[in-house]
Chain A
Amino acid sequence: QSVLTQPSSVSAAPGQEVTISCSGSNSNIGGHYVSWYQRLPGTAPRLLISENDKRPSGIPDRFSGSKSGASATLTITGLRTGDEADYYCGTWDRSLNSWVFGGGTSLAVL
């Protein structure tokens, strides 16, 4: 059971927008920065979003992140079939004294 809760799967049509939620508590998301990672099939995870809403160099602006209270959201606009991947959120948990992640969300672009 992951500390951060994500939907197991989401789907949308090409060109549409999808949001992926990440729910935690005051000891993790509520008090710390959130990062998001994309793992395309058979590849290494890639950092998509750092510090709640910052995109590293090379990440398209179709990907955006936000945080409110103890929840965070990854939004992907203009969906492409190449966006089909697993997405994970992560942050620090001060109660567990550990970095923690969500269980991952599998995105299908139908």
Chain B
Amino acid sequence: QLQLHEAGPGLAKTSETLSLTCNVFGISITSNNYYWSWIRQPPGKGLEWIGTIDYEGRTYYNPSLRGRPTLSFDTSKNQISLELASVTAAGTGLYFCARMFYDGISGVGWFDPWGQGTLVTVSS
């Protein structure tokens, strides 16, 4: 059964780079047609898509985050990583990784399954 487990530092300092990892169990992250995404949820707010990396390492990011996120993967660890540069207090929240299904022809896409999330607090 596919499972995703996120990990992070818990606390990050303003203006620094936040680094999170997502360990994937049950399937290879480079399996064809699989996409892997990071999504966050600030306290009391809705979900925000951060970015997606596909099975060939191509990346797609939320333009509103202005070039600050970087997604990558480590095939030896079957792990997806997120680095978010120049974090601010607005970056506080629960960070989820999720597998994304996407069909580029029809435009169909959804996120399933999700990890439990890792809580990040950004403070000076």
Contact = CB atoms under 8 A, between A and B. Distances in A.
B108 A33 contact: yes
A92 interface: yes
A101 B48 contact: yes
Given A32-B107, A35-B110, A35-B111, A44 B96 contact: yes
B113 A90 contact: no
A90 B47 contact: yes
A10 B117 CA distance: 25
Given A96-B63, A103-B46, A45 B108 contact: no
B117 A2 contact: no
Interface string B75-98: 000000000000000000000101
A47 B47 contact: no
Contact of B46 (A32, A88, A96): A88
Interface in A81-99: 88, 90, 92, 96-99
Contacts of A35: 109-111
A99 B39 CA distance: 10
A98 B47 contact: no
26 contacts: A32-B107, A33-B107, A33-B109, A35-B110, A35-B111, A43-B116, A44-B113, A44-B116, A44-B117, A45-B111, A45-B114, A46-B113, A47-B110, A47-B111, A47-B113, A50-B108, A92-B107, A98-B49, A98-B62, A98-B64, A99-B49, A99-B62, A99-B109, A100-B49, A102-B46, A103-B45
